[in-house]
Amino acid sequence: MSPVQALLTDAVCEAARRSVLCWLATVDAEGQPNVSPKEVWAIADEQHVVVAHIASPVSARNIAQHPQVCLSFVDVFVQKGFKLLGRAREVLADDTEFATWAKPLLAMVGQRFTIQSVLVIQVQSVAAIVAPSYRFYPDDTTEASQVSSAMRGYNVQAVEKDKP
């Protein structure tokens, strides 16, 4: 048997680290989509992403009915990210697996939030997300130009780092 190919590569992990939020898309029993921002999430290993169910009853209910999900994240300054498709399941707080899956999430929240359960996503495919400028104007578009444009658009100024 051949080993499972790592879908969550170093590039995906680095992009995830730079993203503040992810967006989890689910669908209910009637086929109605639901997209919900998630602030507490992490790449658990080369095949799994974990999302804290802090206040996500709709996402949890939808996953119980239809486990297919889409999780997307983008670095808003560089304007690149990834779309992950996979199958999700909910691991409840009293489940023996909870401590393992919740570990990276608990490290993020400390005592700030109670994690009701963990939404564990087994990633089945990964696709890049890039702003249209990278495709339509490849000679003029760089990560630096996108960051500069985004900083102007968001009215954000860079913080000068102290010199040693």
Amino acid at 100: T
CATH number (2.30.110.10, 3.40.1160.10, 1.10.1740.10, 1.10.274.50) of 10-154 reads 2.30.110.10
The model's pLDDT over 137-146, given as tens digits with 9 standing for 90+, comes to 889 888 888 8
Q: 66, exposed or middle or buried, with CB in 10 Å at 0-12, 13-18, 19+? A: middle
This prediction has a pTM of 0.87
Q: What is the pLDDT of residues 107-135, one digit of tens each?
A: 999 888 999 999 999 999 999 999 898 89
Domain ranges of the chain: 10-154
pLDDT of residue 2: 41
Segment 5-60, tens digit of pLDDT: 678 999 999 999 999 899 999 999 999 999 999 999 999 999 999 999 999 999 99
CA dist 127 and 108 (Å) reads 26
Residue 143 is predicted with a pLDDT of: 81
Distances (CA, A) of 90 to 62, 82, 85, 121, 162: 10, 22, 16, 9, 44
